[in-house]
């Protein structure tokens, strides 16, 4: 069975600082991995995804994530936080084809001025 | 290109009632998935529909049911509502075999 663990329900950074949101997954098949962002009272927006190929994936808004199979991790980073990055971030895993996506519990990112 | 839309945006029901939530998929998408997101939690997979047939189900009881129509729009029906059904219900559409899902804004259901 697939599962996702997001380390830290809340992360606080200063504006301009590095953002690091941690995600570890479990999957019995080669996983498809995703990061989504959710702003208050809105649905989910895809930030980036890993399917196959290059393990460093670049997404929207300056975010990127690296798939590390040996560590079963897919951590999300951004070199310099902006106030507009404050939101809830979800890591997710699915079988090939996007079937039955499993989400982590989420990490709320706070950005201090 | 029209994105995923859901209706209504908010809904209040009482315990024991039934509710129907609606979703219009993104143009050209033939697969719809429904998720329940309780407050402070990640979305939980309810089920997926492809070509009007249920294509997989998460750990939800039979009182959660769905439909998909020929135009690929979808409904989620919940019978005998319980207090714990209070949540944000998200619909996501995709093309069969494609890993990327596009989410609607959700319907927030409150059961009193």
Nearest to A87 by CA among A10, A5, A4, A6: A10
Judge whether B33 is closer than 8 Å to chain A, CB to CB: yes
Nearest to B96 by CA among B60, B52, B65, B66: B52
Per-residue pLDDT band for A76 (boundaries 50, 70, 90) equals very high
Residue A28 CA to residue A46 CA, distance in Å, equals 24
Per-residue pLDDT band for A40 (boundaries 50, 70, 90) equals confident
Cβ proximity of A47 and A57 under 8 Å: no
Residue B65 CA to residue A65 CA, distance in Å, equals 36
Instruction: Assign A85 to helix, strand or coil.
Output: helix
Taking any CB pair shorter than 8 Å as contact, residues of chain A touching chain B are 4, 32, 34, 36, 41-46, 49, 51, 90, 92, 94, 96-106
Residues of B in contact with A49 (CB under 8 A): 99-100
Mean pLDDT of A42-48: 91
Mean pLDDT of A63-79: 95
Residue B60 CA to residue B79 CA, distance in Å, equals 12
Cβ pair A100:B58 closer than 8 A: yes
The pLDDT tens digits for B89-100 are: 999 998 877 778
Cβ pair A43:B42 closer than 8 A: no
Residues of A in contact with B43 (CB under 8 A): 44, 90, 101, 103
Nearest to A59 by CA among A51, A67, A68, A50: A50
Mean pLDDT of B12-38: 95
Apex B58 CA angle, B54 and B59, nearest 5: 130
Cβ pair A99:B43 closer than 8 A: no
Facing residue for A97 by CB, picked from B35, B97, B105: B97
Per-residue pLDDT band for A98 (boundaries 50, 70, 90) equals low
The pLDDT tens digits for B45-92 are: 999 999 899 988 999 999 999 999 998 999 999 999 999 999 999 999
Categorise residue A78: left if φ over 0, alpha if ψ from -120 to 50, beta otherwise: beta
């Amino acid at each position: 069975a697939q599962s996702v663990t997001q380390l830290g329900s809340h992360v606080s950074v200063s504006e301009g600082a590095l953002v690091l949101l941690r995600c570890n997954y479990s999957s019995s098949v080669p996983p498809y991995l995703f990061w989504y962002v959710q702003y208050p009272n809105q649905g989910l927006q895809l930030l980036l995804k890993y399917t196959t190929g290059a393990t460093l994936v670049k997404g929207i808004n300056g975010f990127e994530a690296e798939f590390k199979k040996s560590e079963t991790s897919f951590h999300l980073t951004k070199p310099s936080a902006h106030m507009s990055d404050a939101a809830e971030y979800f890591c997710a895993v699915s079988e090939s084809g996007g079937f039955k996506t499993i989400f982590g519990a989420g990490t709320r990112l706070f950005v201090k001025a | 290109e029209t994105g995923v839309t859901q209706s209504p945006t908010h809904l209040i029901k009482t315990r024991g009632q039934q509710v129907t939530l609606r979703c219009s998929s993104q143009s050209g998408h033939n697969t719809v998935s429904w998720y329940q997101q309780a407050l402070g939690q990640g979305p939980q997979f309810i089920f997926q529909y492809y070509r009007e047939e249920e294509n997989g189900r998460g750990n939800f009881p039979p009182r959660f049911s769905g439909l998909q129509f020929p135009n690929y729009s979808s409904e989620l029906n919940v019978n005998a509502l319980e207090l714990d059904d209070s949540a944000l219900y998200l619909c996501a559409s995709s093309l069969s075999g494609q890993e990327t899902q596009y989410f609607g804004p959700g319907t927030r259901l409150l059961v009193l």
